[in-house]
């Protein structure tokens, strides 16, 4: 019998924006792929329509239920609270997606 170490699956809650600082919050198990999809307008809907493709915030967990709950929590916040969360780790709203290009 072959024993394989199982890699813990990671889940990400993330926020993207555009030049007008419209904020979108989402959840994914592959942040690199999702950043690529947003930047290349491969996902129909809000992010494509409003060109929301700049990754400005993300957090990571290995618990899918925690990720989904956190996404819902953040989506329920008023804008000011979302901005405060982004600026607590990314005060200049730099594109963190560059860290995932080609990953």
Per residue in 21-43, pLDDT tens? 999 999 999 999 999 999 999 98
C-beta of residue 47 within 8 angstroms of C-beta of residue 16: yes
Cα gap 58→37, rounded to integer Å: 16
44-92 tens-digit pLDDT:
999 999 999 999 999 999 999 999 999 999 999 999 999 999 999 999 9
Tokens 């990571």 sit on residue: 60
Q: Which domains does the chain have, with CATH numbers?
A: 11-100 (3.40.1440.10)
b/e for 46-56, b at 16 or more Cβ within 10 A?
ebeeebbbbbb
For the whole model, what pTM was predicted?
Answer: 0.88
Separation between Cα atoms, residue 54 and residue 36, nearest integer Å: 10
């Amino acid at each position: 019998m072959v024993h394989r170490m199982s890699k813990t699956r990671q889940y990400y809650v993330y926020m993207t924006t555009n030049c007008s600082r419209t904020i979108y919050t989402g959840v994914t198990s592959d942040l690199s792929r999702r950043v690529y999809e947003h930047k290349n307008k491969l996902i129909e809907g809000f992010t494509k329509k409003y060109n929301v493709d700049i990754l400005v915030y993300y957090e990571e967990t290995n618990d899918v239920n925690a990720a989904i709950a956190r996404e819902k929590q953040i989506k329920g916040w008023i804008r000011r609270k979302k901005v405060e969360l982004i600026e607590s780790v990314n005060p200049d709203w730099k594109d963190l997606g560059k860290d995932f290009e080609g990953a």
